[in-house]
Amino acid sequence: MIVEKVTSIQVAERAGVSQSAVSRVFTPGASVSKKTAEKVRKAAKELGYRPNILARAMVSGRSRIIGLVVAYLENYFYPEVVEKLSNSLQERGYHVLIFMASQTTGNIDDVMEEILDYQVDGIILASVALSSDIATRCQQAGVPAVLFNRSQSGEGVTSVTSDNHAGGRKAARLLVAGGHHRLGYIAGWEGASTQRDREAGFRAGLAEAGQSLFAREVGDFNADRARDAARRMFEHAPAQRPDAVFVANDHMAFAVMDVLRFELGLSVPHDVSVIGYDDVPPAAWLAYGLTTIRQRANLMVAETVAALIEMIESQDPPMPRNIQIDGPLILRKSTRIPEGWTPERIGHEGL
């Protein structure tokens, strides 16, 4: 049985208003009186009417849909970010279409081609890179794109990240001040700017203290690979293994701590201090008590949405820029705390 769709004309007749008034009621940001809106919504509910967003997009040239590309969600940081991005965009009258991609450039390019076919108004890429070909395609199609938690030079794309280099330096300074001399680093995915900048900052902080990296392994931002990396790094005799390790994100740091304590029988922080990056909720759990660098998700989301909306709605789009947000050092029990050190103070709005 085929049921005919209710039209805006029928809603207008039921509400006693014009068809254009019905259209304005269901157009975000359009001007309409409260009384008219109430009548139209009441009539629409009674008739079971739903506006045809795609048809409206064809007329206006605007879909009010934002494509959000996410590489992986097993890291606690990203489900929270996806929720915050979605809520913030919806408050501004935009809808979010989520696409999953792998870390490989080829896969991302395929996903991006699909997104552009949906006639989205803008694109946010969370923790994925953008090839020069796709960046050019977006520009030619007039579709602005913002990188979230990734940056890249030379592509003319706006990016929003924490200050990863500064965060890496903070990690080094803490561990050096804690009396450590054999410092290890477990890297994330080598193709990520976040990995590159955190390691560069960590090495710079060590160099400032007259030290160099004692050991390095790669965990690829993956828990299983991080466990393997920890086993390789700490399988040696005490004098040949690190007495502290900076792990490129919390997701891997939890896996590393589990290996140290439950497989190798090491005490954290008595035998090994561990520091991560992100400050996801489990970092504060008593089971981990992970010292970490906080990514200020609220500020990063606010900057990302503001930059994208400005590019979409401005008559004179701004120049691409790289926005970096400083992340505070959060001290917990997984590291030796040097005398006199306290957690950095930040306001509620900076969480």
Distant-in-sequence, close-in-space partners of 112: CB < 8 Å, separation ≥ 6: 69, 123, 130, 134, 137, 138
Tell me how many helices (H) and strands (E) the chain has: 12, 12
Least confident among 54-63, 119-128, 139-148, 179-188: 54-63
What is the enclosing helix (H) or strand (E) of 303? helix 297-313
pLDDT at residue 333, rounded to an integer? 96
The pLDDT of 308-318, averaged and rounded, is: 87
- Which amino acid is residue 72, in one-letter code? Y
Q: Is the pLDDT of residue 15 over 50?
A: yes
pLDDT of residue 1: 44
What pLDDT was estimated at residue 61? 58
pLDDT at 350 (0 to 100): 42
104-118, 135-149, 175-189, 334-348: which is most confident = 175-189
Does residue 231 carry a pLDDT above 60? yes
Answer yes or no: is pLDDT of 60 > 70: no
* Mean pLDDT of the chain, nearest integer: 87
Please determine, for residue 349, whether its predicted confidence score (pLDDT) is greater than 50: no
Q: Would you place residue 4 in the very low, low, confident or very high pLDDT band (cuts 50, 70, 90)?
A: low
Q: How far is residue 348's CA from residue 351's CA, in Å, rounded to a whole number?
A: 6
pLDDT at residue 59 tops 70: no
Listed range (4-18, 58-72, 189-203, 253-267) with the worst mean pLDDT: 58-72
3-state secondary structure of 60: helix
Query: Quick check: 255 pLDDT over 80?
Result: yes
Distance, in Å, from the CA atom of 150 to the CA atom of 188, rounded to the nearest integer, reads 13
Q: What is the reported pLDDT for 106?
A: 53
Going by the DSSP 8-state scheme, the letter that residue 219 receives in this structure is: -
Mean pLDDT, range 155-174, rounded to an integer: 93
> According to the model, what pLDDT value does residue 54 have?
58
Q: What pLDDT does 130 receive? A: 67
* Confidence (pTM): 0.83
**What mean pLDDT is predicted for residues 61-66?**
79
Mean pLDDT of 274-297: 97
